[in-house]
Structure 1
Amino acid sequence: MSFQNLGLSAPILKAISKQGYTEPSPIQAKAIPPILDGNDVLASAQTGTGKTAGFTLPLLHHLSTTQGQGYKAVRALILTPTRELAAQVHANVKAYSEFLDVTSAVIFGGVNQNPQVKKLKAGVDVLIATPGRLIDLENQGLLSLRHVEIFVLDEADRMLDMGFLRDIERIMNLIPAKRQNLMFSATFSKDIKKLAFKILNDPIQVEATPENTAVEIIDQQVYRVAKTKKTGLIIKLISEGNWQQVLVFTRTKHGANRLTKKMVSAGITAAAIHGNKSQGARTKALDGFKKGRIRVLVATDIAARGLDIPLLPHVINFELPNISEDYVHRIGRTGRAGASGKAISLVSADETSFLRGIEKLIDQRIPVEIIEGFEPDPDASTEPIKPGQNRQGNQGRRKNSDSRNSGGGNSQKSKPRRNRNRNRNR
């Protein structure tokens, strides 16, 4: 099948061709036709399979071939959980609309709002936004969502995991009841699907790959190791393997900072990226990583959403996620667009249950290896660390703010702090 068979307009086909694409990916081939027909769509596909084009191409086709109801009105709203993903989606929208009379803008927190407001006042057809900044500008009367025709939730699983459901519901009350709804994500749990069906109207469900399965071409490896020896092992693997581009995942922001400092001390150029970093620092770190000035990028799950790094050869789980579906998303950062990749996990005793959950989810056993000098501690407890805690007790609970960002912790005391942390990630 070619893009010409999908019913997209000539200017869009021209833009696709300019980007070097000739055939739609499976998710694009399955999602674009029902979206063009005006249906609500619930789509699940692994990262790196072309989800963004799956909804932006038919969205742009609709906007360019129909007349809007409001002058300078936002006609399509794309909601994303993180700044990086919002910027990435906007870049794709601009590329695909190059030969169309369609305007677009992106808004997110962490930066001065004035340039964003200036673009909104000039008139925008497609608006890509994170929830916090969107609600903030609407509260100030600086934008209107009364003429939205298409509403898109990108990375919907993470949107809900991060506690954005109330924000989503609030935004839905600001847009017309009569609209087309699209929900795209790398993974969907059963609970999230139930919530999704409350948002979508009689949706068509499309899936490019079996749900929550790891990309087959990714070479997965587990190293059993004592918790205190993880840092030494990861430095050994990167240094002796001469790996030049490695994305490392930690469970918390403070853990990312600590590991980054130790890598730099060991002579490995590294940078951390997480919600406490300013947008300028995050952009600089990502740019340095892509251009090879930085060998290792240490990230939390939330900050890594939307990172588009072509041909990334190595992903390392310095700590396993306590949510199994996040493992699928993490390793999906490598092995993109048909390229090979290697995903390594350093697993200590207290992560044993996390590993079992991951293997059950992907329905396969991951090869295990033990490296001499970095053996696991035979006396260590296999009791898992609870979300929001670590072995350091209260101090660890205070530090584990990323767990709160993804929905952990329900006490009234923690709510104000959780909301402040979440706002920084928008």
Structure 2
Amino acid sequence: MIREHLPSPSYPQSYYAASSADRLRERPALQGEVDTEVCVVGAGFSGLYTALRLAEAGRKVTLLEANRVGWGASGRNGGQAILGFSCDMPPIEAQLGRDEAMAIWQLLREAAGEIRERVARHGIDCDLRQGHLWTAVLPRRVKLLTDWQEEASQHWGYRDLRFIAKHELRDWVDSPRYQAGLYDPEACHLHPLKYVLGLAEAAERAGAVIHEQSPALRHRQAGERIVVDTAVGRVRCDVLVLAANVYLGELDRERSRRILPVGTFMVATEPLGERAQQLLPSGACVTDNQFVLDYFRLSADQRLLFGGGCTYLGGMPRDIPAAMRPALERVFPQLKGIRLDYGWGGLIDCTLRRTPDFGRRGNVYWAQGFSGHGVIPTCVAGRVLAEAILGDDTHLCRFMRLSNPPLPGGRWLAGPMEAAGKTWYRLRDLF
């Protein structure tokens, strides 16, 4: 068993947990039997967005979380809210056609606005800042930036992207590594754990009940209703939402077979003071367009938060700061020898084609497959599932037409196969 799947009463030792210590209140585990309209399994972004919308609509909602609110990827990620899915839009358009894909693109843009609106409406203190810079490391990949700028404008009606030529880059990111950039003002970045905790509190104020340390062990149909068992409790519900993503495990084997757990990791430097603004004068978050990318941004206390790398066999480097230092110093050689105060990792839920996997079977709904690009797409998922549960399944039916087959060879073989494939793409990035 991957250690990540073992229930834990505490948060991983990340910068996010350390800087949220005053907000990490415990919620009681489920005891006894509960009757509710909707049971949501997983108190991360997708589960909380769904629960919040349903509670706001007057539904009785119970959330079961195996660990703590935001314990998984929702509370550990890079904090970059970037428009789009991991697969980008062409594969979605190829499967669904122009009009249906355009409707999904509009959902993404509306979700980006919803995140900003919820931060303001619920008073969530999560260090929200605007802007994302997508950069090219290789000269031949500058064309990916200009191609997307043209496609976004001409094909998707999004005309706000700004191309940043190499001679302008020092005003955005002080690194010799990049050839050009593309700035997106509708993207943003935030402290993900503070944000997910804020969503949980908003859901509770709307009437939802959250139980931590309450892993769902099994579920079964009981007439028209569903029964969900935990170790010492039971939930009877009309509708079940599976939002556990990579931690779904044996709770639903069919859904689980569509997901490969991929490890990824981050570090946080010591506070940089005035040097921080020299590194990223614009304050935007940054990613590159290598196949295995680097991503980074500044924290509110002027640290560089730097992520990248991946593992496909469920493990993590023994010393994450040591493993990440070469990549960080390759991007910012002026930080050579900088102290790294925090290093942490976690699992993301990758589908075979990197397309999102949202669906319904009877009165069981699910959302998974964010493939490392989930801050905005999870907001889309919450809207799509909640609307379907409330009676409008227009958007959900669109997503259900996307093909997400089981991983070839199951999880035991899919990891090595994926690792072999990624080695090839890493070599292409280098040569």
TM-score range, shorter chain: under 0.3
Tell me the TM-score normalised to structure 2 length: 0.27
Tell me the TM-score normalised to structure 1 length: 0.27
If each structure's strand is expressed as a fraction of its own residues, which one has the higher value?
2
If each structure's helix is expressed as a fraction of its own residues, which one has the higher value?
1
